[in-house]
């Protein structure tokens, strides 16, 4: 007789049927919303595709803010579903400006949906969510926000801002696993989704999730939920709630400020000014004389979390990641010093001592 060895990742207890609604309620509290919260059994990009697929149909006019490849994809999914999409494209790697957005809004009198990413991990920018939401709501548009990166690292008051759909994942600022995502849906958004012509009988259908979960009393989820992922989400929320949302946001803000000061003390230009920068990633312009791949090669042995930009800006900046569990002194310091040291190896002088002091000042006792 063979005996199977016990494996903690495989032989896990089932996730209790009444536990899904509790998770949804905890996510609702985190997002500051009383709207419905749906759980999506897949990484956040799947929830985003489900939102676009469920909203899109011929006759819908959508204004889609593009500040990274994520926004580009969202517009493509809306178009695929027959919507008329106007992409409002920011300068590469920069936040959208209110002037650009307003001009696009004025050019689309029948706008039904406005979509944007809150904070971009691709470049480290923060979009002016409050202003955009206010302008979009004044025109009666349903506002869709990709808050996958920002939730937990930035303030995000869903109901106070009137955000209709907010999509999140656990794997960025919340410090959780990537296998599950969630979204809030306002009654107004449900009204749009439920109009004739929407997608049903599909894993990307929000209406299916409503019928098969919300309308059945929020007990068993359809399909075969991965208990491992649900336990992981519960664990991430336990840890996050123990710290507290305000503390977590403050921790991210401190990591961002320390990183920015450290980079400036190295003598390097920041990619964006503080008002347009996220708390999650810091973009740093690389010196003209430095080639991005040589820099990444020098950085590799340090085992830090520094990568190139994504998309059109891929060879013009590096991004220092201080999201989730990386928003802490040792990770911030390692990023800044590794970047300075790597540039020195390539012949570009930097001041590592000044950079250390600049970072540490943010973590010491107040003067």
Ligand X SMILES: *Cc1c(COP(=O)(O)O)cnc(C)c1O
Query: Which ranges of 95-181 would DSSP assign to H, the alpha helix?
Result: 98-106, 129-138, 158-161
Query: Which range binds ligand X by CB under 6 A, 38-46, 130-138, 182-190, 230-238?
Result: 38-46
Does residue 64 interact with ligand X by CB under 6 A? no
At 277, give phi and psi (nearest 5°).
-105, 145
Residue 1 CA to residue 127 CA, distance in Å, equals 61
Using CB under 6 A as the binding rule, whether residue 178 contacts ligand X is answered as yes
- Torsion-angle region of residue 15: left (phi > 0), alpha (psi -120 to 50) or beta? beta
**Backbone φ, ψ for residue 87 (5° rounding):** -85, 125
126 vs 284, beta carbon nearer ligand X: 126
Looking at beta carbons only, is 117 or 359 nearer to ligand X?
Answer: 117
Member of 30, 125, 148, 232 binding ligand X (CB under 6 A): 148
Nearest to 71 by CA among 82, 60, 57, 87: 87
C-beta of 120 vs 164, nearer to ligand X: 120
Task: Answer yes or no whether residue 240 interacts with ligand X by CB under 6 A.
Answer: no
Candidates 91-99, 115-123, 198-206, 353-361 — which segment interacts with ligand X by CB under 6 A? Answer: 115-123
Query: In this chain, which of 43, 164, 208, 229 binds ligand X, going by CB under 6 A?
Result: 43
256 binds ligand X (CB under 6 A): no
DSSP state of 19: H
Measured over the CA atoms of residue 5, residue 6, residue 8 and residue 10, the dihedral's sign is positive
Annotate each residue in 69-98 with x if it binds ligand X (CB under 6 A) or - if it does not, as one string: -x----------------------------
Q: How far is the CB of 43 from ligand X (least distance, A)?
A: 3
Choice between 126 and 331, CB closer to ligand X:
126
The answer to whether residue 169 forms part of the interface with ligand X (CB under 6 A) is yes
How many residues bind ligand X (CB under 6 A)? The answer is 14
Q: Give the ranges where the chain is alpha helix by DSSP (H).
A: 19-31, 44-55, 69-80, 98-106, 129-138, 158-161, 187-193, 206-212, 227-243, 245-266, 292-299, 329-345, 352-361
d(CA 258, CA 69): 28
Given the complex with ligand X, which of 249 and 268 has the nearer CB atom?
Answer: 249
Q: Which of 12, 21, 45, 89 binds ligand X (CB under 6 A)?
A: 45
CA–CA gap between residue 22 and residue 3 (Å, rounded): 37
Residues of this chain that interact with ligand X (CB under 6 A) are: 43-45, 70, 117, 120-121, 146, 148-149, 169, 171-172, 178
């Amino acid at each position: 007789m063979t005996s199977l060895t016990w494996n903690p990742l495989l032989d896990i207890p089932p996730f209790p049927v009444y536990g899904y609604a509790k998770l949804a309620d905890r996510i609702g509290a985190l997002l500051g919303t009383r709207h419905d919260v749906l759980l999506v059994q897949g990484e956040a990009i799947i929830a985003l595709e489900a939102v676009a697929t469920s909203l899109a149909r011929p006759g819908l006019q959508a204004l889609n803010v593009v500040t990274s490849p994520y926004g580009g994809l969202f517009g493509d999914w809306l178009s695929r579903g027959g919507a008329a999409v106007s992409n409002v494209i920011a300068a590469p790697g920069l936040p959208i400006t209110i002037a650009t957005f307003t001009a696009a809004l004025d050019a689309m009198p029948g706008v039904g949906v406005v979509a944007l990413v809150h904070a971009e991990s691709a470049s480290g920018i923060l979009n002016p969510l409050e202003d955009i939401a206010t302008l979009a709501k004044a025109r009666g548009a349903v506002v869709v926000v990709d808050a996958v990166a920002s939730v937990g690292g930035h303030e995000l008051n869903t109901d106070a801002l009137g955000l209709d759909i907010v999509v999140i994942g656990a794997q960025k600022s919340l410090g959780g696993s990537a296998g599950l995502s969630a979204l809030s849906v306002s009654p107004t958004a449900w009204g749009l989704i439920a109009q004739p012509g929407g997608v049903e009988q599909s894993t990307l259908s929000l209406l299916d999730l409503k019928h098969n979960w919300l309308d059945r009393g929020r007990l068993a989820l359809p399909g075969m939920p991965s208990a491992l992922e649900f336990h992981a989400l519960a664990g991430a929320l336990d840890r996050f709630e123990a710290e507290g949302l305000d503390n977590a946001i403050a921790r991210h803000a401190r990591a961002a400020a320390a990183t920015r000061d450290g980079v400036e003390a190295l003598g390097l230009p920041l990619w964006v000014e503080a008002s347009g920068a996220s708390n999650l990633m810091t973009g740093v312009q690389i010196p003209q004389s430095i080639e991005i791949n040589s820099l990444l090669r020098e950085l590799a042995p340090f085992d830090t979390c520094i990568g190139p930009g994504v998309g059109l800006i891929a060879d013009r900046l590096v991004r220092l990641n201080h999201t989730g569990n990386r928003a802490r002194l040792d990770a911030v310091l390692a990023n800044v010093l590794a970047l300075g040291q790597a540039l020195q190896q390539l012949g570009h002088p930097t001041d590592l001592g000044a950079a250390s002091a600049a970072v540490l000042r943010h973590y010491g006792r107040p003067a």
